[in-house]
Amino acid sequence: MRNCYWCSSPNNSCLSLSMKSTVCWALNQIKVWHRDGSLLTTLAKNDASVNDVAFSPDGQLLASCSGDSTIKLWNSNLKDGVERQSTQTFVSHNGVVSKIAWSSDGQFFASSGMDTTVKLWSREGQWITTLLGHSGSVWNLAIAPSATAEPIAPDSSFLASVGEDNTLVVWDLPRILKLDLLEYGCKWVRDYLQINA
């Protein structure tokens, strides 16, 4: 076993275990257990090791990431004991995906990868943006809920990422999510022309 997480569903009735056998690498799967110890279901096997799993704050979705560059989204209605297929699978990074973290409102999640990037995704699995700030693999990330970030900046939420380059990068998510790149680029060109004309 590599990791375990309590499901944040209202009844806190399940525990997710990211499975990887040290003897047989074919056991790259996620098992979901009831808190009484009974197995609820096994999620379909991955082509590579599962590196992280995270439940959405409302407990409705489970996101997993793995060594084959993919992120999988799963419906968390997992009560019948039948092996489940992911509801969505997509290639997310150029290489191993190391970590997943949900925003406190559950509207988006972030992923980190060995390709030096952090990426933001909508709840539906649509790419939002790529954050560039590391010069090496990004090993871990965490999203601070608004309440935690309040003393620093009201109505704000931050994402922190750490990596192989021995840096901690703190990202201001509201600012990043509101950034209009076209408008920003046009203002930069306008300022450049005014200064250098």
Tokens standing for 68?
């084959």
The answer, yes or no, to whether residue 81 has pLDDT greater than 90, is no
What is the distance between the alpha carbons of residues 186 and 189, in angstroms, rounded to a whole number?
5
- Map tokens 């990431």 to a residue: 65
Report yes or no: 76 and 63 within 8 Å, Cβ to Cβ: no
Region 144-159: mean pLDDT is: 57
Picking from 13, 32, 20, 38, the residue whose alpha carbon sits closest to that of residue 75 is 32
Query: Which 3 state secondary structure label does DSSP give 85?
Result: coil
Q: What domains are defined for the chain?
A: 3-196 (2.130.10.10)
Of 37, 38, 92, 39, the closest CA to residue 29 belongs to: 39
Query: Which is higher by pLDDT, 98 or 7?
Result: 98
Residues in the chain: 197
Half-sphere exposure of 144 (CA within 13 A, CB side): 21
Burial of 80 (0-12, 13-18, 19+ CB in 10 A): exposed
Q: How confident is the model at residue 144 (pLDDT cuts 50, 70, 90)?
A: confident
pLDDT tens digits, 84-138: 666 777 888 999 999 999 988 888 999 999 999 999 999 889 999 999 999 999 9
pLDDT attached to residue 156: 47
CA–CA dist 30, 6 (Å, integer): 13
Give the three-class secondary structure for 187. helix
Q: What is the mean pLDDT of residues 154-174?
A: 83
8 A C-beta contact, residue 100 and residue 56: no
